[in-house]
Amino acid sequence: MRAGLPHPIIRASGALTLAGLVLGTAIPLLAEDEPLVLTPAQQEGPYYPVEIPADHDADLTVVGEASDVAAGQPLVLEGVLLDSDGTPIEGAVIEIWQTDASGVYLHPADPGFDRRDTAFQGFGASETDADSRWAFRTILPELYGSRPRHIHAKVKVEGETVLTTQIYFSGGDIPSAGSIEASGTELDALLIEVRAATDDDGNEVLTAEHRLIVP
């Protein structure tokens, strides 16, 4: 983890900040009359890290103290973690891993591993805060083979994995129900909608919100 980032999520003036990015009003926990839909489990896939990289904080766009920044469209992904009763879970760890801007995973078994973006972290972890919120700064993942655009995610509570899933993007490449083995409200629980925003330095970024609900 880089100097100056003792924790991947910092609470400041009622807004979440991540590596200098003010995220604004965070996703609501759960409305009183909102139905509770567990986040469907999805396959881990073959590219979970063989070893967790030394730098695995919540900012995937820079590796260690390097000055190079990952190629691709910056994406801020934030959300909350709830249990099946809708109760926030503090201190859980959310892990994500994904392709870089060329569609390559940080994994030696990926056929494109030798041409990976070495400025992209590829894997990150974020601990939920007192309000059960988490956040990542990453990039929009490039398509991988025939699969829809996605980010892998794993939730660990007290060191135990309670959910492995994937996050898909709504829009032109929404996967069909058959391709992700989900439909209806379960499909909705796997999708995020991306919107344009600017960070506190005036840089254009994409943002998305996601609610993870675990058994």
Question: What string of DSSP letters covers 2-28?
Answer: -TT-SSS-EEETTEEEETTEE--SPPP
Tokens (6 digits) for 148: 């829809």
Lowest mean pLDDT among 20-24, 103-107, 158-162, 195-199: 20-24
How far is 206 from 199, CA to CA, in rounded Å?
10
* Torsion, Cα of 70, 125, 26, 142 (10° steps): 40
Which one is predicted more confidently, 141 or 5?
141
| Helix intervals (H) in the chain | 177-180, 184-188
Q: What is the pTM of this model?
A: 0.85
> What integer pLDDT is reported at residue 199 of this predicted model?
79
DSSP state of 132: S
CA–CA distance from 114 to each of 13, 105, 111 (Å)? 43, 10, 8
Which sequence spans correspond to the domains of the chain? 10-28+36-214
- Assigned CATH class of 10-28+36-214: mainly beta
Average pLDDT for residues 191-196, to the nearest whole number?
92
Average pLDDT for residues 125-152, to the nearest whole number?
94
Q: Residue 20 pLDDT more than 70?
A: no
Tell me the pLDDT tens digit for each residue of 168-182.
998 755 444 446 667
Pairing between strand 195-198 and 204-214?
antiparallel
Tell me the pLDDT tens digit for each residue of 34-87.
778 999 999 999 999 999 999 999 999 999 988 899 999 999 999 999 999 999
Four-residue CA torsion sign, 44, 47, 53, 55: negative
How far is 110 from 101, CA to CA, in rounded Å?
14
How far is 71 from 100, CA to CA, in rounded Å?
8
Name the percent of the chain lying above pLDDT 90. 67
* pLDDT tier for residue 24 given thresholds of 50, 70 and 90: very low
DSSP state of 59: B
